[in-house]
């Protein structure tokens, strides 16, 4: 079946720094990739939708200048959390074509 990977699986960073999370579709080309965040014991909240070669579409309330999404190819999308703060600490999950989910990235900002 289709496999989506995320790197890193967990990361700890200091407040004010930036962190890049990669999402790759390993054995197929994904036209669209989705980025979600999940707080403890809560559901997934869609942050943005990205199509290869075009600008991402952000959900209401998500700061596009803080959460930079790049979808450079049909197999790679990146999410960069800029100037991270402790409240950005969360579990970030990507999805390719809405059915195939990555294993998630646990971000902790200290």
Partner 1 sequence: AQSVAQPEDQVNVAEGNPLTVKCTYSVSGNPYLFWYVQYPNRGLQFLLKYITGDNLVKGSYGFEAEFNKSQTSFHLKKPSALVSDSALYFCAVYGGATNKLIFGTGTLLAVQP
- Return the bridge partners of 11, or none: 107
Cα-trace Rg, the chain: 13
Residue 6 interacting with partner 1 (CB under 8 A):
yes
Could you tell me which stretch among 11-19, 34-42, 66-74, 80-88 binds partner 1 (CB under 8 A)?
34-42
Could you tell me which stretch among 12-20, 61-69, 74-82, 97-105 binds partner 1 (CB under 8 A)?
97-105
Cβ–Cβ < 8 Å for 37, 44: yes
List binders of partner 1 among 72-91 (CB under 8 A). Answer: 91
Which residues neighbour 99 within 8 Å (Cβ) at sequence distance 6 or greater? 2
Residue 100 interacting with partner 1 (CB under 8 A):
yes
Residue 20 interacting with partner 1 (CB under 8 A):
no
């Amino acid at each position: 079946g289709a496999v989506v990977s995320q790197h890193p699986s967990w990361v700890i960073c200091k407040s004010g720094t930036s962190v890049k999370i990669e999402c790759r579709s390993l054995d197929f080309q994904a036209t669209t990739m989705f980025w979600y965040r999940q707080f403890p014991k809560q559901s997934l909240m869609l942050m943005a939708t990205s199509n290869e070669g075009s600008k991402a579409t952000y959900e209401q309330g998500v700061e596009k200048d803080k959460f930079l999404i790049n979808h450079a190819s049909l197999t790679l999308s990146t999410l960069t959390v800029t100037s991270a703060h402790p409240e950005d600490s969360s579990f970030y999950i990507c999805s390719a074509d809405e059915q195939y989910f990555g294993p998630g990235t646990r971000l902790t900002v200290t």
